[in-house]
Amino acid sequence: MSAVKQSLLATVSIEEDELVTTALCILEVKGEKFIGEGKAKRNPEDQNLPLIGDELALSRAFSDLSQQIAQSANEKINEYLKE
């Protein structure tokens, strides 16, 4: 059996204002599009450290993306088992 290799590219964007950072991760797998979103909110009393907000928002977006992909796979498995 030969190995099959796939390379996938995710589009990642980060938007931030004074208190909220939002990250989006978009991934298309064999025609199915997944969009993960993550937010990080800064307490107005905390020091402004954008990198921390970026990292938190990104990790949450990737986590959301991961959950969506896992849910899609589980739905496909359930459909297959019903046949």
For residues 40 and 17, what is the distance between their CA atoms, to the nearest angstrom?
11
pTM of the model: 0.86
**Beta-bridge mates of residue 38:** 23
Distance of CA 76 to the CA centre of its chain: 20
Residues in the chain predicted with pLDDT less than 70, given as ranges, are: none
For residues 79 and 83, what is the distance between their CA atoms, to the nearest angstrom?
7
CB atoms near residue 20 (< 10 Å): 13
- Domain positions in the chain: 10-82
Contact 36, 68 (CB under 8 A): yes
**Beta-bridge mates of residue 33:** 28
How high is the pLDDT of residue 45?
Answer: 86
Superfamily of domain 10-82 in CATH is: Rv1738 (3.30.160.240)
How high is the pLDDT of residue 46?
Answer: 84
